[in-house]
Amino acid sequence: APPPPPQGGGGRPVPPGDPTPSQQDAGGLGVRVTTRDIVLGPGYWNARSTTTTLRVTVANTGTLAGRVHLAYTLPAGVTDAGTPGCAAVGGGNWQCGEWAAAPGAKFTSLIRVRVDGGAWRKMPLNGSVRVTASGAGTATAADNEGFAVLFPPGPPVSGISLDADEVAFDISGGPAELGVRLSNTGRVDATGRVEVVLPDGVSLLSTPGCEVVSPTRTRCDAGTVAAGRTVTLRLPVAATPQAQREAPLAGAVIAQLDPRSGRTRQMQMSFRITAAVALATPPAATPVPTGSQGVIAAGGQTSDGGAMTSAQRIAVTLIVISGLLVVLALVLATSSLRRRMSGPVPDPSANPASD
């Protein structure tokens, strides 16, 4: 069975900081955290607040047991709903107690959160979870991963429909695409407009028909949307390396339809932003060369700058002695052969002969 979720008591505050990649093999310590987004259903629009869970999975990826500390940051409009063993430390930060984790240990904890009924007005909303592993010495390993608070399209209103795709940056870190579909479900043609709100470090690239309203907000014209028709916008999005490391993040789309007659209709929703670089971690250890690459010689080197070890010196001495013995044997054999060749030649008449 997996270890129990973190319990309170004894933990020193570890406020969440800037996300950093996993520090694998830091003195034998290693830790990894993965999170799931807070996804709200259509029922959110009918409640004063919604209580749900943030799923967090922690794994000890090192070779040593460690004391694991967990902390998390919740965005505005989202608060902790009473997670056992966790307490507020100010500034939207919560800190949980510490617990022991053996090498390879992995467990999942559910953090109870409450999303206010008016939090949608502040979208996009993002948070983060940070874990730190410490051992007997001073070495530590840490990992940080963000999460998004995803709102459904709304508030519900007749005559308009909105949908937005997830933005996914590949390992190259180059621009990605945001797809937005705005539908006119009314009976009258309307002029469409879309505003895209992005987190810090993520921006919409220059696109015809779009204008920058603020550093995080861009407005795009969707033209005339006929009754019963859908307009699709494909918008290029870029992100800084730091923003990609903080992923997953959330963005928001605010759509508006202004019909020729009748009142203006508006709807908004949030979408997810992911990046492949956020999942990449440094190797746990330096690769060891194979035998064909000289692993014995590499393993015999010490910190004295490459001097031979005692075993190597003995091997060299034996090789030298063997070579001297071979040379001595050759000398003796050559001397014996020369003595035999320089001796008196036998008299042929001394051999008996038959008449």
pLDDT (tens, 9 = 90+) of the chain, 355 residues, equals 344 444 333 333 333 333 344 444 456 888 999 999 999 999 999 999 999 999 999 999 888 888 899 999 999 999 999 988 899 998 899 998 888 888 889 988 899 999 999 999 999 999 999 999 988 776 788 999 999 999 999 999 999 999 999 999 999 989 999 999 999 999 999 999 999 999 999 999 999 999 999 989 999 999 999 999 999 999 999 999 999 988 899 999 999 999 988 899 999 999 999 998 876 644 333 333 333 333 322 333 333 444 455 555 666 666 767 777 777 777 677 676 666 655 555 554 444 444 4
Pick the CATH number of 154-282 from 3.40.50.10260, 3.30.365.10, 2.60.40.1510, 3.90.1150.10: 2.60.40.1510
Cα distance between residue 222 and residue 232, in whole Å: 8
Q: Where do we find the tokens 């956020």?
A: 278
CATH 2.60.40.3670 residue ranges for the chain:
1-152
Give the list of residues 6+ apart from residue 327 with CB closer than 8 angstroms, or none. none
- pTM summary value: 0.68
The identity of residue 206, as a single letter, is S
CATH T-level topology, domain 1-152? Immunoglobulin-like (2.60.40)
> Which SS3 state, helix, strand or coil, does residue 298 take?
helix
CATH 2.60.40.1510 residue ranges for the chain:
154-282
Cα distance between residue 75 and residue 88, in whole Å: 13
How does DSSP assign 32-85, residue by residue? EEEE--EE--GGGGGSSEEEEEEEEEEEE-SSS-EEEEEEEE--TTEEE---TT
The identity of residue 88, as a single letter, is A
Q: What is the pLDDT of residue 26?
A: 56
Q: What is the pLDDT of residue 15?
A: 35
In total, the chain counts a number of residues equal to 355
Q: Which value, to the nearest 10 degrees, does the dihedral of the CA atoms of residues 288, 293, 297, 298 take?
A: -30
Neighbour count for residue 22 (Cβ, 10 Å)? 22
Q: What is the pLDDT of residue 215?
A: 87
Tokens of 75: 């965005």
> Which SS3 state, helix, strand or coil, does residue 6 take?
coil
Q: How far apart are the first and last CA of the chain?
A: 110
From the list 149, 183, 186, 187, the residue with the least C-alpha distance to 273 is 149
